[in-house]
A and B are shown apart, each in its own frame.
Chain A
Amino acid sequence: MLKFFIGRLVQMVILFVVFLSIVWLLLQLMPGDISDTLIGNPDIPMSVRLELKARLGLDQPLLQQYITYITNFFFRFDMGVSFSRFPKDVSAVLLEALPRTLVLFLSSTLFAFWLGFKTGKLIAWRRGGRSEQFLIVSGVFLQTVFYPWFAIVMLWLFGFVFGWFPIGRFITAELWLGAPFEANDIFGRLIWTVVIASVAYGIARIVIGRVAKDLVTRERLAMLLGLLVVAAVVGYWAVNPAAKFAWDIVHHTILPVITLGLVAFGAIMLLTRASMLETLGEDYILTARAKGLPDNVIRDRHAARNAMLPVATSLVLALSFVIGGGIVTETIFSWPGMGLLFLQAINVSDIPLAVGALAITGVLALVGHLVADVLYAVLDPRIRIA
């Protein structure tokens, strides 16, 4: 299995180089030249222009430029200098925005998968009835809804009409005025606590798996552990002096995450339902029933566990949606992540920044594919042991 992953990894790196080359090629095909955009800027004095041209390597032959671009990306994580945020490096600008986007992507994907899988499982198990009809129609609606419009309506409804959530942005500026903390620091600490808690939970799950042999005890312990971890994270932040500020960030995060997650939720729910219906027709479900297992055990441990396999593969499909939807979400919610950065860069023709954002997005997509592969292998022993 290790061999399979190394092969897959190599394949993906090659794909990524090709992807980067295509993006680079697109730039060359653009009417005019990058240097025109840059050097045409009258704000920059002549001496700086010439220096810049040499520094950016635009006076060199195309092939040389290409090789420089690729090697710089891979070995120095250098994607050039942003035009609009001159003289900041593209990588520095992107790295600042990356965590926010990652949080948005990850939490909405997790939210969508968790809720979508649960609902899809239940409506497939209890087939028929109005609730199933209603959920299917809403699922299809969410899957086909015009996303920018949906985000606007969500923002208007929950931010403006109900006033439950702030209207866009990452923080409330007035609250942070003169605050003893940096927003990015608090955000980073929030991320770290969640990451540490998740890792701790994962390790504890493995330990439980080794110690508790009985499946029922194992599941109960895991649930208890989950509650404990959540309580620990919440408790840590509740007594923290920065609690107010942390809550402000979280408060701003909830609505965009739910909005983006809801749309992916529809697709995941429908897929889980279809997959679950297929699984329920399998012979081993009949065996499980004949064994006299209680209904919820048949549903969760036998049917849902297998129905999860195609759903895990759909992570890749969800990914492309989440990336596209992320740009829209960040625009409408004024969420200062990579998507917003990308669009702003496009609007002011800051090509290096736009390309950089696209390249990072490509990396994200790649990692997502790899995660889906690993997940599938973990879930399916037929792939794991072969």
Chain B
Amino acid sequence: MTLSQLSLEARQVDPSLPLLEVDQLVMHYKIKAGSVSAVDNVTFTLHQGEAIGLVGESGCGKTSVALSLLRLLPQNAQHISGEIRLNGENLLWLSAEEMRQRRWKDIAMVFQGAMNSWNPVYRVGDQIREALDTHYRGVMTYAEQRAHMEKLFAAVGLPADMLDRYPHEFSGGMRQRAVIAMALSCGPQLIIADEPTTALDVIVQDQILKELKRIQADLGMSIVYISHDIAVIAEVTDSLGVMYAGNLVEYGPTADVFARPRHPYAYLLLRSTPSITGPRRKLAPLQGEPPDLLNPPTGCRFHPRCPFATERCAVENPPLEDIGGGHKVACWHWDQVPELEGLQR
């Protein structure tokens, strides 16, 4: 790895080449009471320079997917089957040491709750430098590291002298910007942003998302956004995946999914979200509770809450099928789901 690759210039991207392929990933958590099926058969592909989003309610497995991309799952997590390929290389086959070297250099992460992602006892600059020291030992001099970090801070709109400050001296928004700067520090191809703006107020939220979008375009990076808020994610992603109870139930171009959700869950989820710009409609909250993943429902995991469910849904789990234009749905009755506009009153 040479210095030039660390420079903050646009990477050559070929949108037709896949960067990250998640293939039929199955993951369980072992707890005292048994085995929790947290991620079940999740498949998606992220191309170079693309931004995708994963949405779903809390406990649906979206964070588990994010963490398994970096292999950062807790000790009690078990990988059952499936593959995670980065540039064609299966990350799950790497040794722990090889995986450690990939982290941050190839895949970086912006965590939820930037407040706590900084170690309170070290200067922010030192914490970024630590990543450079780990992955580029001997490549950069101290002064070069400093110059690089100042450039990073400039890129996220922070003054260079903030590098010498401690995390508690930053405001929430500044801390999140600094987190993004740190994520960029080792020049990753892919950034996973797990609820990057959740704890921030709406205005800062918007600034940070715009910043991320601009940086992504400038540097030719790929981003996986994880959020429970479908509206936030829709603005910045090219593709959108909806997760429910460990399953990826719908995946497709953001505009498509947003305008014509074909999975009953995605449909009901969007129907329960108010829209300011769109037509006025009656909000309908989603009935029922998410399932107990210790004993997930048979067949389609959504069928106990689904208004379109039939007997088949309780027996057979629908596969994720392409219904045209890259829009994929895992539902037997996707064609029965009404249009969102049909709800207009």
Assess whether B133 is in contact with A292, with CB atoms less than 8 Å apart: no
- Pick from B70, B102, B117, B121: contact of A283, CB below 8 A: B117
B-side contacts of A283, CB under 8 Å? 111, 113, 116-117
Assess whether A213 is in contact with B142, with CB atoms less than 8 Å apart: yes
B186 to chain A, nearest CB (A): 8
Q: Does residue B108 face the partner (Cβ distance < 8 Å to A)?
A: yes
Q: Does residue B105 face the partner (Cβ distance < 8 Å to A)?
A: yes
B-side contacts of A287, CB under 8 Å? 109, 111, 117-119
Assess whether A292 is in contact with B117, with CB atoms less than 8 Å apart: no
Assess whether A380 is in contact with B104, with CB atoms less than 8 Å apart: no
- Type the 1/0 row for A289-322, where 1 means its CB is closer than 8 Å to any CB of B: 1111110010001100110000000000000000
A289 to chain B, nearest CB (A): 6
A-side contacts of B121, CB under 8 Å? 305-306, 379-381
Interface residues of A, dominant DSSP: helix
Assess whether A382 is in contact with B134, with CB atoms less than 8 Å apart: no
Assess whether A380 is in contact with B120, with CB atoms less than 8 Å apart: yes
| Interface residue ranges of B82-100 to A (CB < 8 Å) | 100
A-side contacts of B129, CB under 8 Å? 215
A183 to B130, CA, bound (A): 51
8 contacts between A and B (CB under 8 A): A283-B111, A284-B117, A287-B117, A290-B103, A292-B134, A293-B130, A294-B134, A382-B120
Assess whether A291 is in contact with B130, with CB atoms less than 8 Å apart: yes
Residue of B whose beta carbon sits closest to that of A303: B119
Q: Does residue A385 face the partner (Cβ distance < 8 Å to B)?
A: yes
Q: Does residue B255 face the partner (Cβ distance < 8 Å to A)?
A: no
A-side contacts of B168, CB under 8 Å? 381-382, 385
B-side contacts of A213, CB under 8 Å? 142
Leading 5 A-B pairs by shortest Cβ distance: A292-B103, A283-B116, A284-B119, A287-B117, A381-B166
- Pick from A214, A282, A291: contact of B116, CB below 8 A: A282
- Type the 1/0 row for B106-133, where 1 means its CB is closer than 8 Å to any CB of A: 0011010100111111000010011101
A-side contacts of B119, CB under 8 Å? 284, 287-288, 302, 305-306
- Pick from A215, A216, A291: contact of B103, CB below 8 A: A291
A286 to B67, CA, bound (A): 10
| Interface residue ranges of B124-156 to A (CB < 8 Å) | 126, 129-131, 133-135, 142
- Pick from B102, B142, B182: contact of A292, CB below 8 A: B102
Assess whether B166 is in contact with A216, with CB atoms less than 8 Å apart: no
Using A214-B142, A286-B117, A293-B131 as known contacts, list a sample of 14 further A-B pairs with CB atoms less than 8 Å apart, ordered by residue number in A: A213-B142, A215-B126, A216-B133, A283-B113, A284-B117, A284-B118, A286-B111, A290-B70, A290-B103, A290-B111, A292-B103, A294-B100, A305-B119, A380-B121
- Pick from A282, A284, A291, A301: contact of B131, CB below 8 A: A291
Assess whether A292 is in contact with B101, with CB atoms less than 8 Å apart: yes
- Pick from B116, B130, B166: contact of A215, CB below 8 A: B130
A292 to B98, CA, bound (A): 10
A-side contacts of B133, CB under 8 Å? 214-216
Q: Does residue B80 face the partner (Cβ distance < 8 Å to A)?
A: no
A293 to B127, CA, bound (A): 11
A283 to B274, CA, bound (A): 32
B-side contacts of A297, CB under 8 Å? 130, 134
A-side contacts of B116, CB under 8 Å? 282-284
Assess whether A290 is in contact with B120, with CB atoms less than 8 Å apart: no
**Count of chain B residues near A, Cβ 8 A:** 30
B-side contacts of A306, CB under 8 Å? 119-121
| Interface residue ranges of A336-365 to B (CB < 8 Å) | none
- Pick from A290, A301, A305, A385: contact of B104, CB below 8 A: A290
B-side contacts of A382, CB under 8 Å? 120, 166, 168
Q: Does residue B13 face the partner (Cβ distance < 8 Å to A)?
A: no
Assess whether A286 is in contact with B166, with CB atoms less than 8 Å apart: no
A-side contacts of B315, CB under 8 Å? none
Q: Does residue B72 face the partner (Cβ distance < 8 Å to A)?
A: yes
Q: Does residue B169 face the partner (Cβ distance < 8 Å to A)?
A: yes
Residue of A whose beta carbon sits closest to that of B120: A382
A-side contacts of B109, CB under 8 Å? 287, 290
Assess whether A292 is in contact with B100, with CB atoms less than 8 Å apart: yes
Question: Given A215-B133, A289-B72, A294-B134, are A385 and B117 also a contact pair (CB < 8 Å)?
Answer: no
Residue of B whose beta carbon sits closest to that of A213: B142
A-side contacts of B134, CB under 8 Å? 291-294, 297
B-side contacts of A288, CB under 8 Å? 119
- Type the 1/0 row for B182-213, where 1 means its CB is closer than 8 Å to any CB of A: 10000000000000000000000000000000
A38 to B182, CA, bound (A): 75
A286 to B142, CA, bound (A): 26
A294 to B130, CA, bound (A): 11
Assess whether A290 is in contact with B130, with CB atoms less than 8 Å apart: no
A-side contacts of B169, CB under 8 Å? 385
A302 to B126, CA, bound (A): 12
- Type the 1/0 row for A148-190, where 1 means its CB is closer than 8 Å to any CB of B: 0000000000000000000000000000000000000000000
- Type the 1/0 row for B148-181, where 1 means its CB is closer than 8 Å to any CB of A: 0000000000000000001011000000000000
A175 to B331, CA, bound (A): 93
Assess whether B166 is in contact with A385, with CB atoms less than 8 Å apart: yes
B331 to chain A, nearest CB (A): 34
A305 to B122, CA, bound (A): 10
Assess whether A290 is in contact with B100, with CB atoms less than 8 Å apart: no
B-side contacts of A289, CB under 8 Å? 72, 103
A216 to chain B, nearest CB (A): 7
B-side contacts of A290, CB under 8 Å? 70, 72, 103-104, 108-109, 111
Most B CB within 10 A of own CB, among A283, A292, A294, A380: A292
- Type the 1/0 row for B239-272, where 1 means its CB is closer than 8 Å to any CB of A: 0000000000000000000000000000000000
B-side contacts of A293, CB under 8 Å? 100, 130-131, 134
Question: Given A213-B142, A290-B109, A291-B134, are A381 and B100 also a contact pair (CB < 8 Å)?
Answer: no
A-side contacts of B101, CB under 8 Å? 292
B220 to chain A, nearest CB (A): 22
B-side contacts of A216, CB under 8 Å? 133
B189 to chain A, nearest CB (A): 14
A6 to B142, CA, bound (A): 38
Question: Given A284-B117, A286-B72, A286-B111, are A292 and B105 also a contact pair (CB < 8 Å)?
Answer: yes
B145 to chain A, nearest CB (A): 9
A287 to B126, CA, bound (A): 14
A213 to B102, CA, bound (A): 25
B284 to chain A, nearest CB (A): 35
